[in-house]
Amino acid sequence: MTSSTFIRQSGLASMLGGILFAAKMWYDRNDGPPWPTDITDTLIFVVPLLWLVGLTGLYARCKERSGGLGLLGFGVASTGAAMAVVGPLAMSLFDNDGLWFVLVLGLIILFTGLIITGIATIRAKALLGWSAALPLIIGTLGLLMFFANPDDPRLSVDMVSLLRSVRMISTMLFGAVWIVLGYTLWSEPSAAAVQAKPSVT
């Protein structure tokens, strides 16, 4: 498989991950403590696995221009994605809900890594135009989605309603931007392809 083919396929993985994540969050939109579980919670590991493929393709697309900061961002983000894959699998395998923290911590690390990656791609202009900001947008939305917690019992009814709206909007946007990033990887030529394209004189 050539590098450009893998990058395009990683874009499809990113798009599918964004779609599945948004669908899962919409499915769970009315859930609350004590957080009932079903088969979708067991299979949620598929989503960060798809993101991990997408991140690998993103790094392959940008590594020649994103430098050390890009490598750092990819390392942090991919570590977080891997933890988010392992968490649900370990919970299912060992029947231990206490391992949920592995998923939670992994997501926070993933979002942080995406912000670092986004800064690197913006600085290096490693993606075309505004698409260089997509990893930064995804990471920021992820943290917003994560910390907009409507389940704190100390909150007023109005604040709970507001935070539920913020979380749902940021969740849908989070999934949508993954789809946009995936489409960017699927449709943009790689740096090598651009360099190899003969100039017109």
Dihedral of CA 16/126/122/52: which sign? positive
Confirm whether 129 is domain-assigned. yes
- The total of other beta-carbon atoms located within 10 Å of residue 144's CB is 17
Q: pLDDT at position 71, please?
A: 96
- How many CA atoms does the CB half-sphere of 63 hold within 13 Å? 12
Dump pLDDT digits (tens) for 29-77: 765 554 556 667 777 899 999 999 999 999 999 998 889 999 999 999 9
Dump pLDDT digits (tens) for 133-157: 999 999 999 999 888 877 777 888 8
Distance, CA of 18 to CA of 153 (rounded, Å): 30
Confirm whether 86 is domain-assigned. yes
Confirm whether 49 is domain-assigned. yes
pLDDT at 195 over 50: no
- The total of other beta-carbon atoms located within 10 Å of residue 127's CB is 24
Confirm whether 198 is domain-assigned. no
Confirm whether 199 is domain-assigned. no
Maximum separation of any 2 CA atoms in the chain, in Å:
68
The pair of structure tokens assigned to 166 is: 């913020």
- Mean pLDDT score, 161-179: 91
- Please give the model's pTM, rounded to 2 decimal places: 0.84
Confirm whether 126 is domain-assigned. yes
Confirm whether 115 is domain-assigned. yes
* Tally of domains in the chain: 1
- The total of other beta-carbon atoms located within 10 Å of residue 24's CB is 18
Confirm whether 24 is domain-assigned. yes
- Mean pLDDT score, 127-138: 93
The parent domain of residue 180 ranges over 3-190
Distance, CA of 47 to CA of 144 (rounded, Å): 19
pLDDT at 201 over 60: no
pLDDT, the chain, mean: 86
